[in-house]
Structure 1
Amino acid sequence: MRHRLYYFLPDIDSARRSFDDMLLSRIEQRHIRFISSDPLPPDMPEASFLIKTDVLHGAAAGMIVGAILGIAFGALLIVYFDLGQATVLVTTLMGILFGGWASSMAAAAIPNSQLKVFYPDLEKGRILMIVNVPARRVEEIEKMLAARHPEMKFGGEEPHIPVFP
């Protein structure tokens, strides 16, 4: 498992130095992302669409609602039209697919609700660094960043990030 660490940096130069330190600490580039209200330089990895928006949360919620509605619709079809019991399975799968798709499309326009607490600092021009580190290395990385980057502000930690996000 990985832990997601959030750090605020005051400017691009500080962000670049911290990015280099993370690479030197053998944290792969794919586990380091930056979010800024201003455009980032092309050599700095920007957070993906999935991190910036609520697509994943929306898809999960839509799949749950779609499954419930699919079960209910399938049960109604069985009761009123005397269809086979496989109808419930088919309508449930259709509900899951449609619910996940429709909800993810709506959630694509919504900023990530987990990052909502960081928006005031982002609006002030700070840069948010999001780092996914192995659980066993969290303390080591935190100490290294605190020692090398006193200008950096710790934004929090989120445990239990899957290894393959």
Structure 2
Amino acid sequence: MQRLYFLLQDIDTAHQVVEKLKQNSVSEDDMSVVARDETQTRDLPEPSVAESSDLIGSAGRGAAAGGVTGVVAGLAAMAFPPAGLAIGGGLVAATGVAGAGFGAWASSMIGIRHDNSQIEAYENAIQKGQVLMMVDAESGRVEEVERAIHEAAPNARIEGTDAHSSNAG
């Protein structure tokens, strides 16, 4: 999947693009609209928590940092066993897994409170009244989806694409 990011001039144009994409067999589940005034987007596809926050990125970074910390703690426990206990390699794996789990959980709690960095890049335009739209398209349909967008909004400039997992959102 590829995620397309583009700005639209107003909410009416967003409605036109959504309708055009639906006519081209793009599911509403694959569309998200972000605008300054959320009351205007009530009847438009909204981003999920994972899309609008830094939940996924934070959880990944937390799992990596927690896993490393857990492995280091396990190695330290092996090198300097507490109270003369015999500690095996299984402890290193266990502390690594526990550290990764705790790191992912703790970081996701922080990440859910922060905006997605992709959306933040468009924050100024959104505050000025433009509408950010994100559309997930199968790799083989990207050009077709871009054509449909331009038919509904000729001035839309697709400013970015990135690989996107089809199970998020």
Query: TM-score, structure 2 length as denominator?
Result: 0.90
Matching residue of 1:89:
93
| SS of residue in 2 equivalent to 1:156 | strand
Instruction: Note if 1:164 corresponds to 2:163.
Output: no
- What do residues 31-73 of structure 1 show as CA deviations (whole Å, max 9, x unaligned)? 0011111113422111111111111100000000011010000
Contact 2:36–2:129 at 8 Å: present in 1 too?
A: yes
Per mean C-alpha deviation after superposition, the further-off stretch among 147-156 and 8-17 is: 147-156
List structure 1 runs of 4+ shifted beyond 6 angstroms: none
How many correspondences in the alignment? Answer: 163
CA 1:148/1:37 → structure 2, altered by over 3 Å: closer, same or farther? closer
Structure 1 residue 147: deviation in Å?
2.9
Instruction: Note if 1:104 corresponds to 2:108.
Output: yes
CA distance in 2, matches of 1:139, 1:95: 43
- Identical aligned residues as a percent: 28
Per mean C-alpha deviation after superposition, the further-off stretch among 143-152 and 58-67 is: 143-152
Matching residue of 1:63:
63
Instruction: Note if 1:128 corresponds to 2:128.
Output: no
- What do residues 111-151 of structure 1 show as CA deviations (whole Å, max 9, x unaligned)? 11122321111111111110001111111121222233224
CA distance in 1, matches of 2:80, 2:154: 69
Q: 2:36 corresponds to which letter in structure 1?
A: S
CA distance in 1, matches of 2:102, 2:37: 36
CA distance in 2, matches of 1:105, 1:76: 28
Q: 2:42 corresponds to which letter in structure 1?
A: P
- What do residues 60-111 of structure 1 show as CA deviations (whole Å, max 9, x unaligned)? 0000001101000001111211312211111111101110011111112211
CA distance in 2, matches of 1:41, 1:35: 8
Matching residue of 1:25:
24
| SS of residue in 2 equivalent to 1:131 | strand
| SS of residue in 2 equivalent to 1:15 | helix
Structure 1 residue 29: deviation in Å?
1.0
> Structure 2: 5+ residue runs without aligned partners?
none
Instruction: Note if 1:140 corresponds to 2:144.
Output: yes
Structure 1 residue 163: deviation in Å?
2.7
| SS of residue in 1 equivalent to 2:125 | helix
CA 1:156/1:59 → structure 2, altered by over 3 Å: closer, same or farther? same
